[in-house]
Amino acid sequence: GTQVPYCNGGATMIGSGTPIPCAGPKARRCEPPRVALLLAISLFSAWLPSASASDGAQCEGKPPMTPLLYGADLAVADNICCHNTHWAEQSGYADRLGFYDKLGEEVTTFYDSVCGLPLFRAPVGRTFSKWRAESETHGWPSFRPEETFAENVIIKPGGEMVSACGAHLGHNLPDGQGDRYCINLVCMAGTSNGNVTAENGPLGKPLINAARSSRAPWAAPLLSLALLCFALLFLGVGL
């Protein structure tokens, strides 16, 4: 009769001892490498960035200080600054707390809510009313490079901004005037830790932290292709 190809040369058997026929003439094996498929899925899942948590260095494992200034809520600060890399406090949160009304026309320094490092000083190179108007228009305190303590703020690839203490601050959202730092009030509501050197540190554009850069751009498509190949084998499609 017609010869039917068998898996592994006909060596794969079931209860009755009957060889298992392959799915078709192009199939090479009946039993796909399921372990390899699961491994590929695990690797791909590990590659994907977390939507809500960061690495163990976030906030250096410390909670925000108490009390926070400007009426900032401790629970909101802990969630946004120390257990998050993408989300923000609600738009207009600073307005609802009367934040801008609590400030004078003079320059104010704003400190990290966890470790007390100086982060921003505003207004610099513009009036208080212009700084306030820009911040209220966008919904969050808004700073420019010349208002930023360059050594204490890190811009990650993709625009996320963190403090030197590992707290999530907000994002760099450039506009027609250049870089604009959109910052959560709850993450800049701390008090000074008394570091005189930091207080006198240079203002300017923070450097992008290349050491924490995102994974290589070819990694995602390569892993996706590997996952697709194993999925095809899992479904019994010959390659």
Q: Are strands 160-163 and 153-155 parallel, antiparallel or unpaired?
A: antiparallel
Contact 12, 30 (CB under 8 A): yes
With b meaning 16 or more CB within 10 Å and e meaning fewer, what string describes 159-179?
A: ebbbbbbbbbbbbbeeeeeeb
pLDDT tens for residues 102-141? Answer: 999 999 999 999 999 999 999 999 999 999 999 999 999 9
Q: Give whole-number Cα distances, 75 to 63, 112, 186, 196, in Å.
A: 10, 15, 9, 29
DSSP state of 84: -
pLDDT tens for residues 197-220? Answer: 888 888 888 877 644 434 444 555
Binning the chain into helix, strand and coil, the percentages to the nearest 5 are 35, 15, 50
Q: Is 153 helix (H, G, I), strand (E, B) or coil?
A: strand
Q: State the CB neighbour count (10 A cutoff) for residue 43.
A: 13
Q: What is the pTM of this model?
A: 0.66
Confidence tier at 30 by pLDDT (50, 70, 90) = very low
